[in-house]
């Protein structure tokens, strides 16, 4: 699962100047025709760099995203939930595996990416820097954070880079279980006891702001990404993705009788767009830069996992195989 709000590097207009104009034109025409780019094709350096950055952030978000829900694996109530949550969190790890592989086709090794994650050099989705206090927080993630992720991933699956699209096709197919499972959990909380309803309402109150942040800063203040849109690296603006999510899920939340903690949230019947209180983008930046409630714990857990697995990886080292870039 993953949000937009990727931090793309600032793009200088001259960064394409040193590319071969004929090759660049051929590359852009191919994307324009709707053909996918494959790893062995020529591509501008900027395209390669930004894709690595985006896919890598996505992969990190999966592996870190396994933690807030993983918190509840040992406590899920009843067999049905226990098995589903185990499988769901496992899928997140599986998605990381698929996405790292896709990023590797662009020339960065998985171990280098993991190194950049645990040293804090690369980012992951902000939403996972918040704690899951109760079972209901876990249900919120399973349903709504995954729902947000699917909005993004379905859009990105129509992007231009073949290996990323293939990974996303597979991921989206798997996510349909997550979404249904998450909604199922929340329906049971909604229709359960007063205490169960209250648990979810409280989770909703806690998670609404991070959920709005999930899609990234408002288009008014986010970096210009026209070239990335033209190259089908970025498939929609942050506001478009957020609006699509609100359109699909606010009615479903209201249907269950819960209150979304934003008095200004409403759909404008004329524009067809949702209006809401502007999210606190200073808070968003603060959390991205390490100031969220769980940033430290998330990275520390990854670091400990790496350290505990070190002897295993060392023992498995072999000169019979060698690292090579995946083919597709």
Segment 266 to 305, residues that bind another protein, using CB under 8 A:
297, 300-301, 303-305
Is residue 101 near another protein by the rule CB under 8 A?
Answer: yes
Q: What are phi and psi of 258, to 5 degrees?
A: -95, 155
Is residue 38 near another protein by the rule CB under 8 A?
Answer: yes
**Which of 107, 192, 251, 291 touches another protein (CB under 8 A)?**
192
Which residue, chain included where needed, has tokens 């808070």?
283
Contact window for another protein (CB under 8 A) among 48-56, 186-194, 202-210, 271-279: 186-194
Least separation in angstroms between CB 273 and another protein: 27
Q: Which is nearer to another protein, 131 or 261 (CB)?
A: 131
Q: Which is nearer to another protein, 81 or 242 (CB)?
A: 81
Q: Which of residues 15-34 bind another protein (CB under 8 A)?
A: 30
Distance from C-alpha of 56 to C-alpha of 110, rounded to nearest angstrom: 9
Distance from C-alpha of 198 to C-alpha of 152, rounded to nearest angstrom: 30
Least separation in angstroms between CB 196 and another protein: 6
Q: Which is nearer to another protein, 17 or 79 (CB)?
A: 79
Q: Are 125 and 65 in contact (CB under 8 A)?
A: yes
DSSP string, 223-282: PP-HHHHHTTSS-S-HHHHHHHHHHHHHHHHHHTT---S-TT-EE-TTT--EE-PPP-HH
**Which of 94, 209, 247, 262 touches another protein (CB under 8 A)?**
94
Is residue 218 near another protein by the rule CB under 8 A?
Answer: no
**CA torsion, points 76, 80, 85, 91, in degrees to nearest 10?**
170
Q: How many CB atoms lie within 10 A of CB 74?
A: 9
Q: Which is nearer to another protein, 55 or 89 (CB)?
A: 89
Is residue 11 near another protein by the rule CB under 8 A?
Answer: no
- Taking alpha carbons only, the member of 111, 65, 74, 117 closest to residue 92 is 65
Contact window for another protein (CB under 8 A) among 3-11, 100-108, 205-213, 227-235: 100-108
Is residue 322 near another protein by the rule CB under 8 A?
Answer: yes
- Is the alpha carbon torsion for 217, 53, 49, 159 positive or negative? negative
Q: How far is CA 79 from CA 84, 194, 196, 288, in A?
A: 8, 23, 18, 36
- Tokens at 39, concatenated: 């790893």
Least separation in angstroms between CB 181 and another protein: 5
Q: Which of residues 113-132 bind another protein (CB under 8 A)?
A: 114-115, 118-119, 131-132
Q: Which of residues 39-58 bind another protein (CB under 8 A)?
A: 40-41
- Taking alpha carbons only, the member of 11, 199, 173, 201 closest to residue 94 is 173
- Taking alpha carbons only, the member of 102, 91, 11 closest to residue 57 is 102
Contact window for another protein (CB under 8 A) among 99-107, 218-226, 263-271, 275-283: 99-107
**Which of 10, 21, 78, 272 touches another protein (CB under 8 A)?**
78
**Which of 109, 209, 247, 260 touches another protein (CB under 8 A)?**
109
Least separation in angstroms between CB 44 and another protein: 17
């Amino acid at each position: 699962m993953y949000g937009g709000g990727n931090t793309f590097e600032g793009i200088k207009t001259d960064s394409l100047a040193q590319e071969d104009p004929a090759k660049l034109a051929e590359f852009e025409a191919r994307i324009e025709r709707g053909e996918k780019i494959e790893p062995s094709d020529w591509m501008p350096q900027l395209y390669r760099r930004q894709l690595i950055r985006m896919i890598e952030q996505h992969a990190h978000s999966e592996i870190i995203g396994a933690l807030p829900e993983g918190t509840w694996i040992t406590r899920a109530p009843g067999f049905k939930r226990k098995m589903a949550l185990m499988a769901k969190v496992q899928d997140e790890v599986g998605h990381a595996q698929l996405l790292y592989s896709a990023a590797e086709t662009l020339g960065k090794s998985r171990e280098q990416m993991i190194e950049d994650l645990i040293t804090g050099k690369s980012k992951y989705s902000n939403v996972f820097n918040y704690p899951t206090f109760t079972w209901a927080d876990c249900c919120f993630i399973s349903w709504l954070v995954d729902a947000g992720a699917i909005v993004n991933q379905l859009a990105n699956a129509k992007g231009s880079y073949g290996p990323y699209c293939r990974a996303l096709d597979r991921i989206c197919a798997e996510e349909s279980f997550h979404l249904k499972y998450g909604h199922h959990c929340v329906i049971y909380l909604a229709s359960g006891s007063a205490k169960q309803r209250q648990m979810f309402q409280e989770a909703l109150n806690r998670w609404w702001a991070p959920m709005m942040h999930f899609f990234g800063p408002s288009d008014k203040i986010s970096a210009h990404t026209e070239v990335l849109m033209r190259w089908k690296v970025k498939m929609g603006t942050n506001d478009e993705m957020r609006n699509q999510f609100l359109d699909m899920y606010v009615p479903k939340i209201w249907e269950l009788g819960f209150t979304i903690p934003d008095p200004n949230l409403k759909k404008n019947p004329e524009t067809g767009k949702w209006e809401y209180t502007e999210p606190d983008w200073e808070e968003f930046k603060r959390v991205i830069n390490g100031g969220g409630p769980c940033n430290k714990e998330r990275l520390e857990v990854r670091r400990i996992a790496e350290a505990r697995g070190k002897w295993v990886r060392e023992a498995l080292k072999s000169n019979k195989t060698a690292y090579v870039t995946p083919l597709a």
